[in-house]
Amino acid sequence: MIHQFDVVIIGAGAAGLMCAAQAGMRGRNVLVIDHAKKPGRKILISGGGRCNFTNYDVSASNYLCRNPHFVKSALSQYTNWDFISMVSKYDIAFEERDHGQLFCLDSAKDIVNMLLAECDMPNVKQRYQTDVQSIEKTQDGFCLQVSGDTIECQSLVVATGGLSMPKLGATPFGYKIAEQFGLPIVSTTAGLVPFTLHKQDKEDFTELSGIAIPTQITAEDGTVFKEALLFTHRGLSGPAVLQISSYWKAGQKVTINLVPEIDVHELLVQSREQHPNQSLKNTLAKALPKRLVEVLIERKELEDKPLKQLNPNDLLAITHYLENWQILPNGTEGYRTAEVTLGGVDTDYLSSKTMECKSVAGLYFIGEVMDVTGWLGGYNFQWCWSSGFVAGSWV
């Protein structure tokens, strides 16, 4: 049986639902297809079940893309404030956390239910547990073979997401569609992901699992984030590590200021004057978790001795060490725990104003499937809202 629609959207995640709502409001006859049982699975587990849905401060500088200007148009056409207005319209309570991050007070289900309500129109249909077997370009648009049915449409929107969190159903299907139509893929890798450590480092730090400290972390390219670092039984995590992982390349060290909020040199100088017999370990335990100091001493990165045995140059060296502690990650935990996928469909082949493929009329790509990756903090969802809205305004 042949079914005809104006628009078919593959993917019922954040970007796909946003696009469906906007296209539906314009009177377009829309079908949303997803192979999952339910919509918005990644939304539901995000932010610890509370969904960090956007940020108070959003700009192009919060995104990684080979073309740094690509995101500007969509972010200006549909802003963070536009989405906040929608959330407010539905009386969804939310709170601001660190760095302008906005979370639902109750549940991420509120965001999914809001998007489904926005899509609740007679001209917007949804099909789940549905697989797309093939896609062909036709004179009038596209022809899809879908779970035994033939579907024809004028516009096809690919909102399939990236490769992160395969347990939620992530697949490379969107990339395969892009390649079928001649669009290159910028090399993909896991982003916003914890680091694993080499065997000895992992053994040394495993007992610190669960300890978090404020840090300032720097990648070899000079990118800096001031966030918390968390020691885990597998390696290093926490916001600082997730952020810097998107800028890290295999074989590179990261530099970490372990004491960004403390003048540790002043602490050492004053302590030596007032308590010359005090050990370095007990002095530094005022600035860092004592067990971390002990591990650094056990690793012979610091030498524990009475402060009176340390000269001014020693104090400067200790300060420099703590402010520029370096570690070489073994790798990352990969797509299994990554929040996003770096890379994707090359944006040079897409219109920044509409998300339409420049070489294939009626073919659109939105959300994480593209080579656009946001920082931790609601930026990736904002890209889904913005790119989905823009495509929905044109399909």
Per-residue model confidence as pLDDT tens digits over 167-177: 889 999 999 99
pLDDT reading at 1 higher than 90: no
Average pLDDT value for residue range 102-119: 98
All structural domains of the chain: 2-190+341-392 (3.50.50.60), 194-332 (2.40.30.10)
Residue spans of alpha helices (H) in 190-335: 199-205, 239-245, 264-274, 280-284, 290-298, 312-323
User: What is the enclosing helix (H) or strand (E) of 392?
Assistant: helix 379-392
pLDDT confidence of residue 373: 98
pTM of the entire structure?
A: 0.95
Cα separation, 231 vs 211, in Å, equals: 6
In one letter, which amino acid is 279?
Answer: S
Mean pLDDT for the chain overall: 97
pLDDT reading at 20 higher than 90: yes
What single-letter DSSP state applies at residue 378? T
Contact 19, 391 (CB under 8 A): yes
Average pLDDT value for residue range 53-71: 98
Three-class DSSP category at 311: coil
Q: What is the pLDDT of residues 118-149, one digit of tens each?
A: 999 999 999 999 999 999 999 999 999 998 89
Q: What is the pLDDT of residues 243-280, one digit of tens each?
A: 999 999 999 999 999 999 999 999 999 999 999 999 99
Contact 174, 11 (CB under 8 A): yes
Long-range own/partner contacts, residues 80-84 (CB < 8 A, 24 or more apart): 80/54, 80/55, 80/56, 80/378, 80/382, 82/385, 82/389, 83/53, 83/54, 83/382, 83/385, 84/54
pLDDT band at 45 (very low <50, low <70, confident <90, very high): very high
